[in-house]
A and B are shown apart, each in its own frame.
Chain A
Amino acid sequence: MASYLHFIDPAELARIADLALLARTVVDGFLAGIHRSPHSGASIEFAQYRPYTQDGDSRRIDWKLYARADRLYVKQYQEETNMRCTLLLDCSASMDYASGGVTKFHYARMLTACLAMILHRQRDAVGFLAYHREVLCYLPPRSDARHLQRLFVELETLQPAGPTDTAGALRQLGEFLQPRGLVALVSDLLHPADQMIDHLKSLRARRHDVMVLQVADPAEQTFPFEKTATFVDAESGSERFTVPAQVREEYLENRRAHFDRIRRECVSAEIDLEEFATSEPLDRALHFFLHRRNHSLLTSSLRRRPAAATGGRR
């Protein structure tokens, strides 16, 4: 336990608890365990009565209630399910950059660990995939404590290096994963976006909820350099003589265009995307994760409720 504790800032975890996430998720009834499952059924626990309609399953009519009330009601049950969440961590060399104290990779690793802990506390199954040019490590979603410990051990051993192939990692993940899970990608997205977006959409088509947590260094956001210098690409090692004052505006414009395009594609595919600077506290990312996740659950629940009202067991 002590070996992975340093990934999680206890203060961050305490702040998550203070935000009363537990209470919100229970009220919304979407999460299993601490939060409720969005998938209603009849397998385990009674939920409510609903008036029977003609398109409903007559096998679920509660005849005892009909005897008392002289009306047809269908019994609905709650189903306790575990969410299968897979966390993807970008381990390319571009993540090993820091203008201040924390590299993007370190920040992303802490974020991944926190997300894994939160999911584990919610009794969700947590999967993990680390990649750069190829997949470095894959742990299928499981919810037991030993699995979480192994995840942390794997996180500890990872080192950023090499170029990025996010599209390849998503493609391979799509082959492994069962449908209807949650996929959270933690990356700086500093690579061509076309194939990556295609594979994100592919996951979405398989009814996975997809979330992208983009990690950025403050220097990447503002390009505050003053001295003329030769910039060296962290992944390819290529050099470029640059006069920062001359290229700053163009740099910012290029960056804005790149991420705006990714964002537009994500929005159209109902993929959540948010950018986090390494100078920010982790709690904003955790808030985002839980908030967006709950919002997504609520939306999908509302979408599925008419189907559940039919009383059919899934």
Chain B
Amino acid sequence: MKRRILLLAALALPHIARAQDKRKLRVGITLHPYYSWVANITQGAVDIVPLIEAGFDVHNYEPQPADIRRAATLDVLVMNGIGHDDFALKVLDAAEMRGKVRIIYANEGVALIPASGNPGGEKTYNPHTFISITAAIQQIFTIAAQLGEADPDNAEAYRRNARAYAARLRKLKAGYIAKLAGVTGAALNVATIHGGYDYLMQEFGLNVVAVVEPAHGLLPTASQMRGTIERIRALGVTTLFTQAQYPAQFADAIQRETGARLYTLTHITEGAYTAAKFEEGIAFDMQVIVDAVLAATGAAH
């Protein structure tokens, strides 16, 4: 009997070892959209680990000890890399994981567009590629390709899932674009409080001619506010988009001074991390844009 047990154990050992080798990759993410994208690409084949807990503002985040502990468990990290999550590299350094974790820069291959509303005229790039359908699709293919390199057995499935997810996102956008079919004068000039919506506005053919925050994550001074208000008046902008997390007094002041209609968008970096988060957030923003365009063009029913 003992001999039989030993024989069975010997036969099982390679399988156990292989099962351990095949443990799920632990894929860290820095922003909510990346959670959704990785979840939809991998369909449960990896463990997804948000690097920071829900509820923090990514614009002024400082690493916490718990982040460092989480970072020490990662195999892969998906991050923006061009202006929203520099804290992630600090966390990796603190956890002594730089060089050990494979970093996927989601924006590596994304075609960036200029940030709108820079009164100086100099064109800087906009890092908010995660508030967009087209730029999201570009990133989804990059993430799928590089996750496939980290996990070759699932590479084809990741590519297939990426295509299915991209198709769903395209269909989602097409539904909102269709709501504007036949609307004349849809190419509106608009203003935004936060400079995070250029990619999405461009997809809807809207021109962002003024941005209230002077630079990413900064609050405007009184003189900057006055300049923006004058610019909005001079350009005849009647539609202003603010963001749920931005201090209300700035949007309220502009609305009061210019009479522009005010709409609130989401930055898709708040709340719980879920697979559906990106679709829900971007659908919310697209509905807000559709409502704004219909109201501005007098086509609202």
Q: Is chain B found bound to chain A in the same assembly?
A: no
**Interface residue ranges, A against B (CB under 8 Å):** none
